[in-house]
Chains A and B, each alone.
Chain A
């Protein structure tokens, strides 16, 4: 399959990259691992005239940790590096666990944290070749006025399917976004618009450069459960991250549950966190928290399996994620 015409830049510093983005703006896209962007370009979904390759900017793939500031991970850090990192395995194992469930080893070798966090939303009717899409009117996500999944729907229901986002959101992560002239730091959850057709709150001249996790977030145990039919390769049909902290006396001092693949953005299930916090973790309580997650999930039938089954699995996986996270404490 062929790529459309493009011009390729390989800046050696973040400033250079931002300069290029500033210059070419809407006509440019950054390329990290390329495992999503190049596929989209081959399918004719995107045709940026300029590609700004971030791979040769070493400062973007640093993993740094100290007990005060917590964890900082550069957006260009490979998923494989996350899996192998001693620092991550010892302090934030849920991140290694989640990274190891993304696709399969060769794609973990190419894919980056930033790339996974900034995954475009997906849908059977969107992720298709130009020929395929030409056989029907364009949908909201491709600039049209219809949704092929929800007949009569008035918005885009494309699904966010990244695995790293729920794990990081459950860890209260923040994201640093850089652009020429200044950075901004936002809670990771704010990166996501909830809009299927434009899922990321990023301007064309902005780059997600780093993710930070406060040290306090990892006092407890964490678990990421992913539902997929095969044992590798597939995007999640449902993904649940749970992080629970034990106050030492068997009470849950802090809890967070986050979901992926159940809507147009990853979801932090605040209700579940509130239910668990300050409580003894009983089967009953876990079931309630799982109910809350189920409530927060709104899948539609656009990525395989059935949406009713996926919604049921939110409950099952949430229960398991919470139990495992608690058990790891």
Chain B
């Protein structure tokens, strides 16, 4: 199996990375690019902690081959802070106590951001549906939904 050189655009930056074709995007992000904010909670697409935005849409990076991500805009949690400023969703999560153990937090925040980018004033039901693919074991989702609605209100 030959290694290949690929170009990945992550958080607005271009990276030349030498990878194997059997590496998933989550592996390459975490191991090659040391962006450990994206997690691997199950490796099977069932938990959502590997969520990244691919061309603005939340996807499971554990089920995306790194080679496929070429030519696409990849956004990870590390890409949300801009000029030292937190994204409104990040602020809302912090202010509303929506973060406990934090392991699902990057996935939740990215999913929320993608939702609000597309649908700036979602209903609570829409917000719940948008995050229905990410498992949280700590919060019962209550303050996460609250934070999303608060960020939408801004």
A→B interface (CB under 8 Å): 1-8, 10, 31, 33-35, 38-39, 42, 51, 53, 55, 80, 103-107, 109-110, 231-233
Q: Judge whether A39 and B63 touch: CB under 8 Å.
A: yes
Q: Judge whether A107 and B43 touch: CB under 8 Å.
A: no
Q: Which residues of A contact B60 (CB under 8 A)?
A: 35, 106-107, 110
Q: Judge whether B130 and A105 touch: CB under 8 Å.
A: yes
B: number of interface residues (CB 8 Å): 31
Q: Judge whether A1 and B1 touch: CB under 8 Å.
A: no
Among A8, A80, A107, point to the contact of B21 (Cβ < 8 A). Answer: A8
Partner-binding segment picked from B45-53, B77-85, B91-99: B45-53
Bound state CA distance, A6 and B20, in angstroms? 9
Residue of B nearest to A43 (CB): B44
Q: Mark B98-113, 1 if CB is under 8 A from A, else 0.
A: 0000000000000100
Q: Judge whether B22 and A10 touch: CB under 8 Å.
A: no
Bound state CA distance, A53 and B40, in angstroms? 23
Q: Which residues of A contact B45 (CB under 8 A)?
A: 35, 39, 107
Min C-beta distance of B101 to chain A, whole Å: 21
Residue of A nearest to B54 (CB): A109
20 A-B contacts, Cβ less than 8 Å apart?
Answer: A1-B40, A1-B44, A4-B22, A5-B1, A6-B22, A7-B1, A10-B67, A31-B65, A33-B63, A38-B24, A51-B21, A53-B65, A105-B58, A105-B130, A106-B51, A106-B59, A106-B133, A107-B60, A107-B133, A110-B63
Bound state CA distance, A110 and B22, in angstroms? 18
Q: Judge whether B44 and A42 touch: CB under 8 Å.
A: yes
B residues 16-46 with Cβ under 8 Å of A?
Answer: 20-24, 27, 40, 43-46
Residue of A nearest to B50 (CB): A106
Bound state CA distance, A105 and B57, in angstroms? 9
Bound state CA distance, A53 and B66, in angstroms? 13
Among B22, B57, B111, point to the contact of A5 (Cβ < 8 A). Answer: B22
Q: Which residues of B contact A104 (CB under 8 A)?
A: 132-133
Bound state CA distance, A10 and B58, in angstroms? 22
Min C-beta distance of A83 to chain B, whole Å: 11
Bound state CA distance, A39 and B132, in angstroms? 20
Q: Judge whether B1 and A55 touch: CB under 8 Å.
A: no
Q: Judge whether B63 and A109 touch: CB under 8 Å.
A: no
Min C-beta distance of A4 to chain B, whole Å: 7
Q: Does B9 contact A (CB under 8 A)?
A: no
Q: Which residues of B contact A106 (CB under 8 A)?
A: 48, 51, 57-60, 111, 133-134
Among A7, A42, A51, point to the contact of B43 (Cβ < 8 A). Answer: A42
Min C-beta distance of B98 to chain A, whole Å: 19
Residue of B nearest to A8 (CB): B21
Bound state CA distance, A320 and B83, in angstroms? 54
Bound state CA distance, A3 and B45, in angstroms? 14
Q: Does B64 contact A (CB under 8 A)?
A: yes
Among B27, B40, B43, B132, point to the contact of A232 (Cβ < 8 A). Answer: B132
Among B22, B46, B57, point to the contact of A233 (Cβ < 8 A). Answer: B46
Q: Judge whether A35 and B133 touch: CB under 8 Å.
A: no
Q: Which residues of A contact B22 (CB under 8 A)?
A: 2-6
Residue of A nearest to B20 (CB): A5
Known: A2-B22, A106-B58. A232 touches B133 (CB 8 A): yes
Min C-beta distance of B129 to chain A, whole Å: 7
Residue of B nearest to A7 (CB): B21
Residue of B nearest to A50 (CB): B21
Bound state CA distance, A110 and B72, in angstroms? 14
Q: Judge whether B63 and A34 touch: CB under 8 Å.
A: yes
Among B44, B59, B129, point to the contact of A109 (Cβ < 8 A). Answer: B59
Q: Judge whether A39 and B133 touch: CB under 8 Å.
A: no
Q: Which residues of A contact B2 (CB under 8 A)?
A: 7
Q: Judge whether B63 and A103 touch: CB under 8 Å.
A: no
Known: A104-B132, A231-B132. A109 touches B57 (CB 8 A): yes
Min C-beta distance of B72 to chain A, whole Å: 10
Q: Does B68 contact A (CB under 8 A)?
A: yes
Bound state CA distance, A110 and B48, in angstroms? 13
Q: Judge whether A55 and B59 touch: CB under 8 Å.
A: no
Min C-beta distance of A244 to chain B, whole Å: 28
Bound state CA distance, A31 and B133, in angstroms? 22
Among B27, B58, B59, B67, point to the contact of A8 (Cβ < 8 A). Answer: B67
- Residue among A104, A106, A110 with max Cβ neighbours from chain B (10 Å): A106
Among A3, A42, A51, A110, point to the contact of B59 (Cβ < 8 A). Answer: A110
